[in-house]
Structure formats: structure tokens, C-alpha cells
Amino acid sequence: MSTQAPVRRTTVPQIAKRKGGDPIVSLTSYHAHTAAIVDRHADFILVGDSLGMVMHGMETTVGVPLDLMIMHGRAVVRGTQRALIVVDMPFGTYEESPNVAFRNAAKIMKETGCGAVKLEGGMRMAETIRFLTERGIPVMAHTGLTPQSSHVMGGFRTQGRDEDTWGEHLEDARAVALAGAFAVVLEGMVEPLAAKITREIDIPTIGIGASAECDGQILVLEDMLGLNPNKPPKFVKVYGELGSMIEKAVSDYADDVRSRSFPGEDQVYR
């Protein structure tokens, strides 16, 4: 009989308590095998709607359907044991009303087994965040550059370059914190603004293109592994060059097939 203690998942309250403590580590993941690797190192894993662009070749995240998020969310949950799994609510699944948001968030949680959902928006989404959290749905908020609103914003533009707008961003962060979000992603935001928000609100901030002073950091896994065929954003540090490694492996395989050196003696049955 094994005496090894069971692995317990990181919980929402554990993440919330990390405010001002050890930095929170997070990455995106969209499938079981990469999630199993990330799971050994990350505090939470985000099944981001960025999967529409990274996995399915979409130009933006706007076209990602709910069922696609659920399918990838299930895979990530199956491939992990310890990290908190957070699933993005895609565009059009929560903006209409708090009731619609609750129905779709509950569907995500029931059908994936994830521990929380994430939605974009500050003050305008505070009522919805409060509605969800009061009904047992943990919510991670997302302010600053919000990709689902890229058409309104005029593209993927860094937020806070004009200091006159800082008050709006501060109010957004305060509003989601007061509404009950357990953490907030700050994306594409000038460093001093992100640092100021981190100091002034009581929930953890998770930076992506923000500040090292944030309570945690997140990147898209494929970006930091060098799998993005395009030039990655300025805020991405590339920790591996898997794209070129895969290219070489596929090229070598193709050469071996064409020269009939694969399969070789070690790969056939006698």
C-alpha cells in the first residue's frame, strides 16, 4: 500500500494569498502533453483564447467559440495534477448579461473540471464579476490591453502611454478587485502604471507586457518556446528555439525517407 501523499491542486484562495509574496508563475497551455510539463513548474495554467490564433490560425481571438475552449480545457485538466487551471471565457459569452455569463461560466467549469474562469474588462464587467463570484464561480479579471476588444482599441496598442489615462486603468483594477476577482491580468501596459496598480490594489496582479513588480507573470507558451512563426511581441523573452529544432527534424526525416534510409534496420521487424 502506497504511503505517498496525493498531489493536491493549487486553489484559488492559495493564489489570492500570494499578494505581495513569492511571485506567481503562469503559462498558457492548450493540450495535455505540454500541460503535463508546465504543471511541474507553474502555479496556474491559463487555457487562453489565444489558442484561436496559436492553434487554429485565426487572425484574432474574437472568433473562438465556447465549445473550442471547453475541448482544450478538458485536455489541459486531464494532463495536469497540481496547477490551478483557469479557462478564458471567449468573446460573446459573458458581455450580454450577468445571467448569460453565469450560464456559460458554469458550463465551462462543469464540462472541463477547471478551477476558475477569466474574462476581460474593468469597470464595465464589475457587476458581472460580482454576480459570478457570489454564485460560486471564481473569476480572474483582465484589464489593460484586452485582445477581445482589439477592434474597438484600433489594434494591439500599449496602454497607459498617455499619463492622463492612468486614472481610468486604476479605476478598472480597483473595480474588479472590489467586485470579487481573485486576481487580475495586466496586459500590454506601461511599466510604471502596472507597478502603481500592483501597489494600490489588494489582489494579485499577473503581468504580461507589464512590470516585474506585478505579483506574477504569464506568457503564451508557444511564444517563449520560439514556436511563433512571426516576430514575438517586445515583452516576450524567448527561452527556447523549438521552431528551428522542429524544422530541422522534419527536414532530416524527409531526407531519410527520400533516400530510403528510413526505416532502417533498427526500425523494422524481422
Q: What is the pLDDT of residue 157?
A: 81
Residues 154 and 257 in one domain: no
Residues 150 and 92 in one domain: yes
Q: Note whether residue 219 is domain-resident.
A: yes
Q: What is the pLDDT of residue 228?
A: 86
Q: Note whether residue 5 is domain-resident.
A: no
User: How many domains would you assign to the chain?
Assistant: 2
Residues 235 and 246 in one domain: no
Residues 69 and 184 in one domain: yes
Q: What is the pLDDT of residue 33?
A: 96
Residues 74 and 111 in one domain: yes
With 70 as the cut, is the pLDDT of residue 110 above it? yes
**Binding site, annotated residues for 3-methyl-2-oxobutanoate:** 49-50, 88, 118
Instruction: Average the pLDDT over each of 14-28, 224-238, 256-270 and give the range with the smallest value.
Output: 224-238
Q: Note whether residue 55 is domain-resident.
A: yes
Q: What is the pLDDT of residue 151?
A: 47
Residues 145 and 254 in one domain: no
Residues 232 and 127 in one domain: yes
Residues 28 and 158 in one domain: yes
Residues 193 and 151 in one domain: yes
Q: Note whether residue 7 is domain-resident.
A: no
Q: Note whether residue 144 is domain-resident.
A: yes
Annotated catalytic, 163? no
Of 163, 187, 200, 222, which one is the catalytic site residue? Answer: 187
Instruction: Average the pLDDT over each of 53-62, 151-160, 179-188, 220-229 and give the range with the smallest value.
Output: 151-160
Residues 147 and 213 in one domain: yes
Domain range for 249 is 242-269
CATH classification at residue 37: 3.20.20.60
Q: Note whether residue 148 is domain-resident.
A: yes
With 60 as the cut, is the pLDDT of residue 25 above it? yes
- Write out the chain in H/E/C secondary structure: CCCCCCCCCCCHHHHHCCCCCCCEEEEECCCHHHHHHHCCCCCEEEECCCHHHHCCCCCCCCCCCHHHHHHHHHHHHHCCCCCEEEEECCCCCCCCCHHHHHHHHHHHHHHHCCCEEECCECHHHHHHHHHHHCCCCCEEEEEECCHHHHHHHCCCCCECCCHHHHHHHHHHHHHHHHHCCCEEEEECECHHHHHHHHHHCCCCEEEECCCCCCCEEEECHHHHCCCCCCCCCCCCCCCCCHHHHHHHHHHHHHHHHHCCCCCCHHHCCC
> What are the tens digits of pLDDT across the range 149-194?
654 444 568 998 999 999 999 999 999 999 999 999 999 999 999 9
Q: What is the pLDDT of residue 2?
A: 57
Q: What is the pTM of this model?
A: 0.94
**Binding site, annotated residues:** 49-50, 88, 118, 120
Residues 16 and 125 in one domain: yes
In whole numbers, what is the pLDDT of the chain averaged over residues? Answer: 94
**Binding site, annotated residues for Mg(2+):** 49, 88, 120
With 80 as the cut, is the pLDDT of residue 1 above it? no
Residues 261 and 128 in one domain: no
